[in-house]
Amino acid sequence: MKKLITLIIVQALFTLGFLSVSNAQTIKKKQILLIGTFHFNNPGADAVQTNDFDIRTAKAQQELAQISNQIKKFNPNKIFVEWEYYDQKKLDSLYQLYLNNQYENYVEKTYKNKGAYAMYANNEIFQLAFRAAKKTGLKQVNGIDYPLPMPFDTVMNAIKAAKQDDVMAEISAYTTTMGKEANLKRKTMGLTSLILDLNTEQARKINSGFYIKTLNRAGKTDNFGGAFSVAEWYKRNLYMYSLVQKQMQSAAQKAVILLGAGHIAIIKKFIEDDGQYEVVELKDIMKIK
């Protein structure tokens, strides 16, 4: 009798385990479309300095229309952008102006001939995210940025104090090479090709690898200026991804994350470790092999 009871229990546990595995396999993961890009307004805030790309040309605008049309077909419930999360009310007000076809007039009237004009006129939030959100019928575009100071001076001082000429040379070579390559591509490639190029696995590996391979080594053995700087970069991206996780706990099944390519390179790693979401790439929705 004991053997029979044991057999029944084992069979029951096996069946329950099988069912739980089967159910887990049939549950469809939520999808996140990752779009890493350069900043269309080119604020010059990055270590790699690049020339402007004219997002207002007819060709660039046509490509933006095509990309936003494909995002509409993807049909996201949310679009997350590189805007300070604590200033969501302002983003909401700007998007409302956009929905009412009043945004361009507002920008011309408010920011023309001012330093912030390029940001509000050309940035990818307004040129692409707003455009795609309106076409998709979304009532809101969600800001998830959590800005933190990147203590680059601390890193450089740590390198100088440690006399790490090799590290200094690597930083110089990286910024110079990446800048030259980006400028050449902006002269010879269209907008879609530029964005797709930033979202290859190789490009992401080079981008994220620079922090670990080079910056993390900065400083003497008792100076962690380099590691601190890298930790702040990861912290910013972790906070951003935390906001995505929290807002995707609702009924939302699909989302777009549109950020600078450096952020996307890190956030994709978080998504893969998280395991809750299926990554969709821009080349997938653009039907490009």
Q: In what order do the strands lie in the sheet with 254-260?
A: 142-145, 78-84, 254-260, 30-37, 277-281
Whether 117 is in a domain gets the answer no
What is the number of structural domains in the chain?
A: 1
pLDDT at 18: 47
Q: Is 119 contained in some domain?
A: no
Cα 286 off chain centre by: 18
* Structural domain for 175, as ranges: 33-79+149-285
Q: And the tokens for 125?
A: 């939030």
Distances (CA, A) of 159 to 155, 162, 178, 250, 287: 6, 5, 21, 46, 45
Q: How far apart are CA 72 and CA 25, in angstroms?
A: 28
Q: Is residue 157 part of a domain?
A: yes
Q: List, in sequence order, every residue forming a beta bridge with 278; answer none if it has no partner.
A: 31
Q: Does residue 200 sit within a domain?
A: yes
Question: What one-letter code names the amino acid at 43?
Answer: P
* pLDDT of res. 6: 52
132 contacts 203 by C-beta, under 8 angstroms: no
Q: Is residue 116 part of a domain?
A: no
Q: What pairs with residue 81 in β-bridges? A: 143, 258
| Bridge partners, 181 (sequence order) | none
User: Can you give the pTM of this predicted structure?
Assistant: 0.88
- Give me the torsion for CA of 282, 34, 181, 237, rounded to 10°: 180
In a domain, 64, yes or no: yes
Could you state, in chain order, the average pLDDT of each consecutive group of 10 residues for the chain (289 residues)?
Answer: 52 51 63 97 68 94 98 97 98 98 98 95 98 98 93 90 96 93 94 97 96 95 94 97 94 94 97 97 88
**What does DSSP assign to residue 162?**
T
The answer to whether residue 276 sits within a structural domain is: yes
pLDDT of residue 250: 79
Examine residue 155 and state whether it is found in any structural domain, yes or no: yes
